[in-house]
C-alpha cells in the first residue's frame, strides 16, 4: 500500500502528520514479505510506503502553525506506475481565507484541485482530512457524493453539491473524507483496518494511545 500525503503551505499540521504516523506504524506492523538474497539469507520488506509530496519540486513546506516539514518528492502523474494507491489531502486555514498559505489559497490557485480531479478520474482512492474536502469540492470530486468536512465549512460543502453526512469519517467508495483535525487519525485507522486487519489497527491505536471514536459512515451504513 503506497500512500502519498499532498502538502502545501498553510496545511494544518495534525491533518497531515496524524495520518502519516498511523500509516507509518501500520506498515511496520503489517505482515512482512520475506525475500531471499544471493546468499540465501532472508530480508523483510515493508508492504508499502508513506510519503509527503508536493506539486512542485521543493525541500519543505510551512504548516499553519509554523512547523516546517520536509518533503519526500513530487506527486507523480496518476497514470504512471509511481502513482500511490491512496492520495491524502489535508485542510488548513479555509475559514480564515488566508490568501497566501491555506487550503483556501490553493483552491483559488486551482493547481491542487486540478491534480485531485486527475487522480479521481484515474480511479485512485482519494481521502481528505478536515477542509481538505473543500479542495476536493473545488475539483468537483464531491459533487453528488457522501462527504464531510470541518464543522466550520459544512454549509459550503453542502452548497458545493456534496451530500453532507453527519459522521466523523465518511467512506463513499473510492472517496473518503474526515471531519475536523483529529478525525484524520480515525480515517487512517479505518483504512489500516481495511488493508491489514483489526489486529494491526488496534495495535497502532494502542501505541499512539488513541481511543477510536464513532463508527465510519460507509455508503449509507456504518463500520
Positions marked catalytic: 130
Residue 208, domain extent: 2-30+44-222
Residues constituting the chain: 223
Query: pTM score, two decimals?
Result: 0.93
3-state secondary structure of 117: helix
**CB-based burial of residue 13 (10 Å sphere; 0-12 exposed, 13-18 middle, 19+ buried)?**
middle
H or E stretch covering 115 = helix 111-121
Residue 35 domain-assigned (yes or no): no
Number of independent structural domains in the chain: 1
Of 124, 156, 161, 125, which Cα lies nearest the Cα of 146?
161
- Please check whether residue 37 lies inside any domain of the structure: no
At 74, list the grid cell. 513530487
Q: Is residue 71 part of a domain?
A: yes
Report if residue 125 sits inside a domain.
Answer: yes
Mean pLDDT of residues grouped by 10 in the chain (223 residues)? 97 98 96 49 74 97 98 97 97 95 98 98 97 98 98 98 97 96 96 96 97 82 57
In a domain? residue 147:
yes
The pLDDT value recorded for residue 45 is: 81
Residue 81 belongs to some domain of the structure: yes
Q: For residues 125 and 137, what is the distance between their CA atoms, to the nearest angstrom? A: 15
Would residue 39 count as lying in a domain? no
Is 38 part of any domain?
A: no
State residue 208's pLDDT score: 97
pLDDT for 44: 61
- 145 and 175 Cβ atoms separated by less than 8 Å: yes
CATH at residue 23: 3.40.50.880
Q: Using an 8 Å Cβ cutoff, are 119 and 87 in contact?
A: yes
Amino acid at each position: 500500500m503506497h500512500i502519498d500525503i499532498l502538502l502545501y503551505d498553510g496545511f494544518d499540521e495534525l491533518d497531515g502528520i496524524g495520518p502519516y504516523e498511523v500509516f507509518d506504524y501500520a506498515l511496520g506492523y503489517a505482515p512482512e514479505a520475506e525475500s531471499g538474497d544471493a546468499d540465501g539469507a532472508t530480508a523483510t520488506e515493508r508492504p508499502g510506503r508513506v510519503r509527503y509530496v508536493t506539486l512542485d519540486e521543493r525541500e519543505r513546506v510551512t504548516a499553519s502553525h509554523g512547523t516546517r516539514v520536509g518533503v519526500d518528492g513530487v506527486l507523480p502523474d496518476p497514470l504512471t506506475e509511481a502513482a500511490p494507491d491512496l492520495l491524502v489531502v489535508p485542510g488548513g486555514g479555509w475559514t480564515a481565507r488566508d490568501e497566501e498559505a491555506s487550503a483556501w489559497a490553493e483552491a483559488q490557485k486551482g493547481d491542487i484541485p486540478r491534480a485531485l480531479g486527475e487522480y479521481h478520474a484515474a480511479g485512485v482512492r482519494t481521502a481528505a482530512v478536515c477542509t481538505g474536502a473543500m479542495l476536493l469540492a473545488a475539483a468537483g470530486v464531491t459533487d453528488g457524493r457522501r462527504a464531510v468536512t470541518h464543522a466550520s465549512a459544512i454549509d459550503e460543502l453542502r452548497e458545493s453539491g456534496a451530500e453532507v453526512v453527519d459522521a466523523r469519517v465518511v467512506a463513499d467508495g473510492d472517496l473518503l473524507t474526515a471531519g475536523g483535525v483529529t478525525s484524520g487519525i480515525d480515517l487512517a485507522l479505518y483504512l489500516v483496518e481495511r488493508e491489514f486487519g483489526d489486529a494491526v489497527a488496534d495495535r497502532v491505536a494502542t501505541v499512539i494511545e488513541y481511543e477510536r471514536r464513532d463508527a465510519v459512515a460507509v455508503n449509507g451504513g456504518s463500520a
